[in-house]
Amino acid sequence: MRQLTIFLALILSINLSTRAQVSLGENVPNFVAIDQNGSKWELKKERRAAEYMVMYFYPAAFTGGCTKQACSYRDQEAEFAKVNAQVVGISGDKQSTLELFTLENQLNFTLLSDESGEIANLFGVTQKEGTTIQREIRGETLDLTRGTTIQRWTFILDKKGMLIYKDTEVNAAEDSDKVIEFLKSL
């Protein structure tokens, strides 16, 4: 599993390092990442699952605002289904941390690990050096390390992969409501 993760990170780094930041109205280039289950996730395959793809970047799993934001997306699953949108959360957390975060909060959507920050770079999302935090999870104290700390920004892609929405001033608790409102207006 570790070799697969390193291999995919190398491919991602090579593929994204030569690309400029995507802007509104442009198609988002394909990228590959590892999801919370340790599986390969590829944009060009996954974006076909719904009319819209909401991609929200967040700083760190198991922190207050990020947990509120994730749970809000989780709780509004039916609203996202009504507007034919799928949700993907992206952070600099390790895959194993995302797996725990999903289980602990019963999340019902995909989380992607962007430890190198390459996906964030593709979207122009501001980031800083990663850190380690300690959290008690299921009675055990764990050190959770992330490769980068990504700022909280949200994007929406249409089915063809065009970037149609960008929010760089995200309020964690209100993000999912704002996104649903935008999608209903289309």
Q: At 136, which CATH number?
A: 3.40.30.10
Collect contacts of 130-136 with beta carbons under 8 A, ≥24 apart.
130/92, 131/60, 133/60, 133/62, 133/63, 135/62
The one-character DSSP state at 50 is: S
Tell if the pTM clears 0.85, that is, is over it: yes
Model confidence at 48, pLDDT cuts 50, 70, 90, reads confident
Q: What is the domain count for the chain?
A: 1
Per-residue model confidence as pLDDT tens digits over 104-131: 999 999 999 999 999 999 999 999 999 9
Domain containing 130: what range?
Answer: 2-184
Which residues are tagged catalytic?
66
